[in-house]
Structure 1
């Protein structure tokens, strides 16, 4: 098979792998938030999220991770010169970090399938940004291939991550304030 076909297949499965990782953590967040719902809504929602997560995890995310890796190894086999390039070593370190992230997601997935909720929705939202940072780092690295440029790219990604975390906290405060105001209005209306 031509190298460019292998490269295209690698990119396609990297995209679907990341899509699965981004969405699975959203399902984790929804599952954790459903814990605060009253029955029967809580059970209905959590049952549905478990089913959606199971299908996503085993039909899209895991196969995509395996196929992305398969085509990556194939590309390295066809062009071993890549292994001599410093930027590739850094990229492979980020890929290793992505595998650790994937494994962490698998642990959370397994816990939620057993109705064990160890993380709050906020912690899961912050956790979700790790995949974003890895994606940005790898794309900048592969595109720029220059040590200085990718360093600035990673610094930018870290700043982006900090801004995202601050945005999440601000969003949570706004949401809590609106929830509090809504509760106050309901109390005042009931008092009338």
Structure 2
């Protein structure tokens, strides 16, 4: 079980690295005006999302479900796990929304400013804080 937990934490760290960096790339992409930079950001966004973000998300979810399988009745009677799983579901939605934004940028259809992407970049920080507190403190 400890090996599964260790790999789960590693996958979470990798996923959050991608989730934190991808919207930052959107900020720079939205500010870019020359075609060389724009094309470079398209490549970086795609590779980060497909090469690191999505595989890490899949590993995080799979390993998390594996951990839950050790004692499903015990976990599912605790409120903190329901809150954590709700936040993880929101984060998965955020991940797929970022995938949608990659398509928007790829097709040169972005209408939002870099300020929007700066704010978008902050949302997963709040989720990370809440998830860690829920998993470690188990407040309810």
Question: SS in structure 2 opposite 1:116?
Answer: coil
Query: Structure 1, residues 33-75: CA drift from partner, whole Å, max 9, x if none?
Result: 00xx3xxxx1000111111111111110000000100000111
Question: SS in structure 1 opposite 2:122?
Answer: helix
Tell whether 2:118 aligns with 1:125. Answer: yes
| Partner in structure 2 of residue 47 of structure 1 | 39
Quick one: which of 102, 106, 114 aligns to 2:95?
102
Q: Give the greater-gyration-radius structure (CA).
A: 1
**1:79: Cα distance to partner?**
2.1
Structure 2, unmatched stretches of 5+, are none
Equivalences, count:
139
TM-score, structure 2 normalization? 0.96
| Partner in structure 1 of residue 59 of structure 2 | 67
Quick one: which of 6, 25, 28 aligns to 2:26?
28
Return structure 1 stretches of 4+ with deviation > 4 angstroms: none
Structure 1, unmatched stretches of 5+, are 148-192
Hey, what's the Cα distance between the residues in 2 that align with 1:143 and 1:75?
A: 15
Greater relative contact order structure (CA < 8 Å, 6+ sep): 2
